[in-house]
């Protein structure tokens, strides 16, 4: 019997203390936990959450499976990836994340591309942006704002 597969893309985050990260994402972003798979030592080998209608997977760091090197943003000195959440009521949702322990990297402000937008760093080093479209912006207006024509 064939299994029906629905293609999708989901970030898979490596964190220090995945159980605490799950608690944070529930408080900060209203995440719903799908489930978790603990290893014998209690570290989470795998967990999955629904955040903003999409799956986010995460696990504790296992340097022994990465040539002995840690893989968390904290160990690496930051993350080159920002996970974007398009939301309604961006100011309230951004504040909820800050109240849960996120750090403001860029406060929410209206941007030239038509969104109210801001960036947060979670306590585990991952970057999250939040945006809410508030006005339509033409390609010409966008180019002018970028210093184009």
| CATH number of the domain encompassing residue 59 | 3.10.180.10
Has residue 105 been placed in a domain? yes
Number of domains in the chain: 1
**How far is CA 29 from each of CA 5, 113, 128, 143, rounded to the nearest angstrom?**
27, 24, 10, 33
d(CA 130, CA 137): 18
Domain, as residue range, for 100: 12-145
Please, is 135 exposed, middle or buried when counting C-beta atoms within 10 Å of its C-beta (0-12, 13-18, 19+)? exposed
pLDDT tens, position by position, 83-127 = 999 999 999 999 999 999 999 999 999 999 999 999 999 999 999
d(CA 107, CA 20): 25
Has residue 30 been placed in a domain? yes
pLDDT tens, position by position, 40-51 = 899 999 999 999
Q: Decide: 48 and 35 in contact? Cβ < 8 Å.
A: yes
């Amino acid at each position: 019997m064939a299994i029906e597969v629905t293609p999708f893309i989901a970030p898979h985050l490596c964190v220090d203390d995945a159980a605490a990260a799950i608690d944070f994402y529930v408080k900060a972003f209203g995440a719903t936990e799908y489930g978790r798979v603990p290893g014998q030592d209690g570290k989470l080998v795998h967990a999955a959450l629904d955040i903003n209608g999409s799956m986010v997977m995460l696990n504790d760091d296992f340097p022994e499976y990465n040539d002995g090197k840690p893989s968390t943003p904290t160990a690496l000195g930051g993350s080159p990836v920002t996970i974007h959440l398009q939301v309604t009521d961006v100011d309230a949702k951004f504040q909820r994340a800050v109240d849960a322990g996120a750090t403001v990297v860029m406060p929410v402000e209206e941007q030239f591309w038509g969104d109210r937008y801001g960036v947060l760093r979670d306590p585990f080093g991952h970057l999250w942006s939040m945006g809410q479209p508030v006005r339509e912006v033409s390609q010409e207006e966008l180019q002018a704002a970028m210093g184009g024509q």
